[in-house]
Structure 1
Amino acid sequence: MSQHDLGDLDDSFAGEPPEQGPEDDDSDVYPDLPSWVEQWFCPAIALKLTDGHRGRTWCAKWWKHGPVAVRLYHVWRAWEKAVRSGDDHAMSAWWSYDCDPAVRVLSDGEVGPMHACSPTTHRDVPTLPCDPFPADDLEAVALALVTTRSHPDPDSEG
């Protein structure tokens, strides 16, 4: 394969992204998260999927899972920045440091945010429980933080 052919691989997942002119260097390739997920991310990722509770899973209704949408939003923003940089290393780093770890967490069929789903069935997955923070405890938390910082761990260096 020539270098030109390899460069075309990124565009082959779902057709070429919209053309960018020199005046659009700071604009996004995709207008929003759903467009990026549907047109680039999902076609670019291939996994052996199971029906949930084990292995890898994915929910086609990924947007109904808040933790998934939040993570994918930030993975998309990092992708946009890497693409705009024009630096081939930036895209390699994006795969290694942004995409691959996020995909591992999101698709974890045992404990991930879509663990109860299958590729064809959506099931709501509860997020972490959280009681409202009592305003009168704020002073105690602040004191604990200050105390912890003023007495460093004797086992740590420095």
Structure 2
Amino acid sequence: MLDDDNGWEPGPVFDEDETDYVLAPPAADTQTSAHDSPKPVYGDLESWLRKHLSQVIRRRFGGSLTWCSQWYRHAEAVSRLNAMWQEWEKAVVEDTMSTWWLYHCDPHLNMLMSKDSGPFMACKPDEHRQLEPLPLADSDPDLWLGTAFSDPRDPAPDAGTDAAVAASRTSSSPD
């Protein structure tokens, strides 16, 4: 018998075959023509999540894992899931699914489902709870004027300052 002190509860038993979904249509169906960019397998994030990811990923929640059925109410979750979907679409076309699992799906799902530090940490699979945004104090606007925060494409980031103008005059004067 398993110890229930960590919040683990047995999940439902599935009678259906876990492979009743379509991974992706054949590669020829994902192309519109030789000159066009590939046509996505799924038209939007929710379609991909409902028809693909939620059918592939099966987990028991409790212990260190959680989920929120109202995932769309968590900005971080939407951003991470959208990144996963976009990379999945590329992996289908480029035939790099193993890379997608290792470098996109696994790290994002680990963070999303983490009961300790993920965006669903206050939620239960059937109960949404909103977290507060990160607290931010107002910063000193002069802090952002340093060269570390200037645009590296700007050839003269300090050209408009009095010190930069004075320095250019002294360096261009004949000796």
Which of 67, 70, 80 lines up with 2:79 in the alignment? 70
Name the Cα RMSD after superposition. Answer: 2.5
Higher RCO structure (Cα 8 Å, ≥6 apart)? 1
Compared with structure 1, are the counterparts of its residues 21 and 77 closer, same or farther at alpha carbon in structure 2 (3 Å cutoff)? Answer: closer
1:14 is matched with which residue? 21
TM-score normalized with structure 1 length: 0.70
Deviation at 1:131, TM superposition (A): 3.9
Query: Mean alpha-carbon deviation: is it higher for 14-23 or for 35-44?
Result: 14-23
Which amino acid is 1:77 matched to?
Answer: Q
Which of 23, 29, 32 lines up with 1:23 in the alignment? 32
Which amino acid is 1:57 matched to?
Answer: T
Q: Percent identity?
A: 33
Deviation at 1:130, TM superposition (A): 2.6
Residue 98 of structure 1 pairs with residue 104 of structure 2 = yes
Is there any run of 5+ residues in structure 1 with no aligned partner, and where? 1-10, 147-158
Alignment of 1:5-154 (within 5 A): 12-15=19-22, 17=24, 20=29, 22-23=31-32, 26-50=38-62, 54-85=63-94, 87=95, 90-139=96-145, 142-143=146-147
Q: Is the 8 A contact 2:30 2:40 kept in 1?
A: no
Q: Is the 8 A contact 1:13 1:44 kept in 2?
A: no
CA distance in 2, matches of 1:111, 1:128: 13
CA distance in 1, matches of 2:137, 2:38: 41
Greater gyration radius: 2
Which amino acid is 1:72 matched to?
Answer: L
2:169 is matched with which residue? none
TM-score normalized with structure 2 length: 0.64
The alignment covers a number of residue pairs equal to 128
Query: Mean alpha-carbon deviation: is it higher for 76-85 or for 130-139?
Result: 130-139
